[in-house]
């Protein structure tokens, strides 16, 4: 019995240590989540201004042609998939990777019909284990990524579309709703739909021409949308981590309560047994 009580005490101590770790990780994720949301909001003015300029060109010019605006038969489809480098984030990675896998299975009959660009070690390893080639990968992003961190993969995906190596580009990421809810999204990025802008458009003069300026701005605009998705994915990751660690902390507390109850019962039983043995010994000595 004494051995069983010692084992229960060790379980209680181990679970208490685990609870301290998960609680600390929950608080760290909550702090990083606030910063990630602020960074996503700070990136909006640049994106909005680009959108306004592109919409202004589109509304004031006719006959402008650009590969990123032209629809063509989808012989090869590109997917840019955003995942995390580490786990402990609940279903964050599993949800988006399952969604992408379903898209590949439902839309395509052969790996020759699609190409993947992946951000995050979890996504890279997932496709590598399944023998699915990845054209470009970016890993080891910080919790506050800069545009320069994802510039290479974003530029490669957009340039491959411009050059005709792919005929459509889809952006696959987790849309951040709140810390409890992240929704896997597969959104068409290229070819671009006509850009609209809510509000009054300013009038611009373009040198050397509107078409030349648009040719420079469209790739940057597409890369900016990719960066926004990365920031939203990072907020989703941190929200999922905070929720997962919060749930782990609650489960640890529940286990501690159960172990403590078991310990008290075992200790009470041991004390009762000792008293019974003492009484029995005293009775035997008297008789």
Identify the pLDDT of residue 212: 79
Angstrom distance (rounded) from CA 44 to CA 191: 22
Instruction: State the CB neighbour count (10 A cutoff) for residue 195.
Output: 18
Pairwise CA distance, residues 26 & 56, whole Å: 45
pLDDT at 204: 62
Residue 158 contacts residue 219 (beta carbons within 8 Å): yes
Which residue from 150, 77, 154, 83 is spatially nearest to 116, judged by alpha carbons? Answer: 77
Give the pLDDT confidence score for residue 282 in this predicted structure: 66
Predicted confidence (pLDDT) per residue in 237-275, tens digit: 999 999 999 999 999 999 999 999 988 888 887 778 777
Helices (H), the chain: 2-42, 44-60, 92-107, 121-129, 147-162, 210-286
> Which pLDDT score, from 0 to 100, does residue 287 have?
61
Say what the pLDDT of residue 103 is.
94
- Between CA 140 and CA 150, with CA 145 as vertex, the angle to 5 degrees is 75
Say if CB 231 and CB 40 are below 8 A apart: yes
Which positions of the chain have pLDDT values less than 70? Answer: 1-3, 58-64, 194-204, 206, 282, 284-287
The CA-CA-CA angle for residues 124, 130, 133, to 5°, reads 55
Instruction: State the pLDDT at residue 219.
Output: 86
Strands 181-190 and 168-178, by their bridges, are antiparallel
- Nearest one of 154, 139, 148 to 84, comparing CA atoms: 139
Answer whether 111's CB lies under 8 Å from 135's CB.
no
């Amino acid at each position: 019995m004494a051995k069983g009580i010692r084992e229960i005490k060790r379980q209680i101590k181990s679970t208490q240590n685990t609870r301290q770790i998960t609680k600390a990780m929950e608080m760290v994720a909550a702090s990083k989540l606030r910063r990630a949301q602020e960074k996503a909001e700070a990136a909006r003015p640049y994106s909005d201004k680009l959108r306004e300029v592109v919409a202004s060109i589109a509304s004031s010019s006719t006959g402008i042609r650009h590969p990123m605006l032209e629809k063509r038969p989808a012989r090869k489809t590109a997917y840019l998939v955003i995942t995390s480098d580490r786990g402990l984030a609940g279903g964050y990675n599993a949800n988006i990777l399952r969604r992408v896998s379903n898209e590949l299975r439902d839309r395509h009959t052969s790996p020759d019909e699609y190409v993947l660009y992946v951000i995050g070690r979890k996504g890279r390893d997932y496709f590598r284990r399944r023998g699915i080639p990845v054209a470009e990968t970016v890993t080891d992003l910080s919790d506050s990524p800069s545009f320069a961190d994802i510039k290479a993969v974003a530029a490669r995906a957009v340039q491959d579309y411009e050059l005709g190596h792919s005929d459509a580009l889809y952006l696959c990421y987790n849309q951040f709703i709140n810390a409890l809810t992240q929704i896997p999204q597969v959104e068409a990025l290229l070819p671009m739909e006509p850009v609209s802008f809510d509000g009054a458009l300013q009038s611009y003069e373009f040198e050397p021409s509107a078409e030349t300026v648009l040719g420079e701005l469209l790739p940057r605009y597409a890369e900016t949308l990719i960066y926004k998705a990365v920031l939203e994915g990072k907020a989703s990751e941190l929200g999922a981590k905070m929720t997962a660690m919060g749930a782990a902390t609650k489960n640890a507390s529940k286990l501690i309560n159960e172990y403590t109850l078991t310990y008290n019962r075992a200790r009470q039983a041991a004390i009762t047994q000792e008293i019974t043995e003492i009484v029995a010994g005293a009775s035997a000595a008297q008789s």
